[in-house]
Amino acid sequence: MIEYLVAIGLITGIFAIFALGLNLEWGFTGLINFGHVGFLAIGAYTTVLLNQGGFPLWISMAAGVVLAGFFGMLVGIPTLKLKADYLAIVTIGFSEIVRLILLNEDWLTRGPMGLHGFDRPFEALIPFDYNYFLFLFTFVSLAVIYILLEQLVHSPWGRVLKSIREDEDVASALGKNVFSYKIQVLILGSAIAGFAGALLAFNLQYINPRNFIPMETFYAWIIVVLGGSGNNKGIIVGAFMLQFFYSGTRLLQDFIMFDSTQMASLRIMIIGLLLVVFMMYKPQGLLGKKEELGLGR
């Protein structure tokens, strides 16, 4: 039982980090990123490929984070001058391009076969079940990222982000370089996703392009909306809640006489229903502020 809880706790922590990156972009700055998973993939594959190529794990991981941030900038430069919706289109396209490259460039990524056999942080030094260590490592990282993000969003820098979210015309009228802030946010959000990607690789021990389908992006969106966008604490709670819906419905298997495919479909329906009902009662998300909902532009 404890192993199971650690295992689902681990994946929850990784997704919480992943969603914190999205929350910086959407929750605080109003950027619609529908391709967040692309940066998760870049983080994961860069870490694994460099490590397999003989680089020390820490360097590989750092390179994964930096490269994810770099691609965030590359995607942002041509699109962020346009209105918000274009970013949504470009990012979802970008994440699919990343996935298809990973799938088809066999010489580099072994395509659908995926990659396995790579180092994990301190693996040789851990005398007990490695998952416990990875769990600890993930949650310490989550805590650090959370604290840094909280400092950022409560600073004058964060205030500029919120003003861009509310109305970027005002931000420029007050002398703020809106484009530069959006780029910074996209770099940072993508780098966080890249870090989550490395953790995901450590957790799975085997990565392949199927891990990086667009649905993963929307799990992050569900977490952000469930927890309350623009609230970092809410994101962490939202990640646990989604995991609770997700794993909780698995227990149904013991009570209902369906075969596994039917069961899988039923679960998705129940999860959807739970999300809809939750949103009806708490449209602002678990820790979102209700009074903010009515405040349109």
Partner 1 sequence: MKHSLLEVKEVKKQFESILAVDDCSLIVKKQAITGLVGANGAGKTTLFNLITGYYKADSGKILFNDIRIDDMPTFKRARIGMVRTFQITKALSRMTVLDNMMLGPKGQSGEKIWNIWLKSGKISKEEDMAKEKALEILDFFNMLHMKDEYAGALSGGQKKLLEMARSLMIDPIMLLLDEPFAGVNPTLAKKMVIYIKELREKGMTFLIIEHDIPLITKVSDTLSFMSQGKIILEGTPEEVKKDPRVRDAYLGGGD
Residues that bind partner 1 (CB under 8 A): 151-152, 155-157, 159-160, 162-163, 165-167, 169-178, 184, 230, 291-292, 294-297
Spatial CA neighbour of 201 closest among 79, 88, 267, 115: 115
Q: Is 33 exposed, middle or buried (0-12, 13-18, 19+ CB in 10 A)?
A: buried
Residue nearer to partner 1 on the CB measure, 177 or 262? 177
Residue nearer to partner 1 on the CB measure, 78 or 272? 78
Residue nearer to partner 1 on the CB measure, 172 or 253? 172
Residue nearer to partner 1 on the CB measure, 79 or 211? 79
**Nearest-approach distance from CB 174 to partner 1, in angstroms:** 6
**Nearest-approach distance from CB 198 to partner 1, in angstroms:** 22
**Nearest-approach distance from CB 284 to partner 1, in angstroms:** 11
231/272 Cα distance (integer angstroms): 23
Spatial CA neighbour of 227 closest among 1, 26, 2, 49: 26
**Nearest-approach distance from CB 124 to partner 1, in angstroms:** 34
Degrees, nearest 5: CA angle 8-12-18: 150
Helix or strand (DSSP H, E) at 127: none
**Nearest-approach distance from CB 61 to partner 1, in angstroms:** 22
DSSP letters for 240-278: HHHHHHHHHGGGGGGTS---HHHHHHHHHHHHHHHHHHH
CA distances from 131 to 26, 29, 58, 123 (A): 32, 35, 19, 10
Spatial CA neighbour of 227 closest among 21, 27, 37: 27
Residue nearer to partner 1 on the CB measure, 27 or 38? 27
Residue nearer to partner 1 on the CB measure, 73 or 126? 73
**Nearest-approach distance from CB 152 to partner 1, in angstroms:** 6
